[in-house]
Amino acid sequence: MAIRNLRFEGDPILRKTSKEVKEITPKTRDLIGDMLETMYEANGVGLAAPQVGILKRIVVIDIGEGPLVMINPQIVKAEGTQTGDEGCLSVPGKAGQVTRPNEVTVRFMDEDGEYYEAEGTELLARAICHECDHLDGKLYLDFVEGELHDTVSESDEEE
């Protein structure tokens, strides 16, 4: 596995629509492994393939409950709303308020090519919505309510 270079806001690739994954190849598995490593290295809770420059419909998420890999994810049901701070590894050091569904059902393919449905609430629902948006060239900045603010990392606070 390897850390991949993150793409940042302003990079046109983040505004493109990613392509459906038709077949899981060794290259797909390498990409997924690298995406997880890159997400953990950057202390993110989610990462979508276009954020490492690959226009494929693959997202990885870990809200602290273990890694989730979703290929061709599609939100099939969304209920309720939640408003809260959201950030993105492609927009470092910033966060802003975004309203999202509080509960989503997502259909996706796993690394073995099997399709599943999973439910997510609160932070997981937010992460699923955020990462799925990346696959359609959308950033949370498009929906942010009010001003962005700077995030302060724990290490900065200590220094």
Residue closest to Ni ion when measured from CB atoms? 88
Distance CA 93, CA 153 (A): 8
Distance CA 21, CA 96 (A): 31
In whole angstroms, how close is the CB of 139 to Ni ion at the nearest point?
7
In whole angstroms, how close is the CB of 85 to Ni ion at the nearest point?
13
Measured from the CB atom, the residue of 24 and 75 that comes closer to Ni ion is 75
In whole angstroms, how close is the CB of 112 to Ni ion at the nearest point?
26
Structure tokens at 140: 């949370």
Residues interacting with Ni ion, by CB under 5 A? 88
Distance CA 121, CA 128 (A): 10
Helices (H) and strands (E) in the chain, counts: 3, 8
Measured from the CB atom, the residue of 28 and 86 that comes closer to Ni ion is 86
Measured from the CB atom, the residue of 5 and 22 that comes closer to Ni ion is 5
Contacts of residue 96, defined as CB under 8 A and 6 or more positions apart, other chains included, come to 85, 86, 87, 140, 141, 144, 145, 146, 147, 148, 149
Residue from 9, 20, 65, 131 carrying the catalytic annotation: 131
Catalytic-residue membership of 131: yes
Measured from the CB atom, the residue of 24 and 95 that comes closer to Ni ion is 95
In whole angstroms, how close is the CB of 21 to Ni ion at the nearest point?
19
β-pairing, 82-88 vs 68-79, is unpaired
Catalytic residues: 131
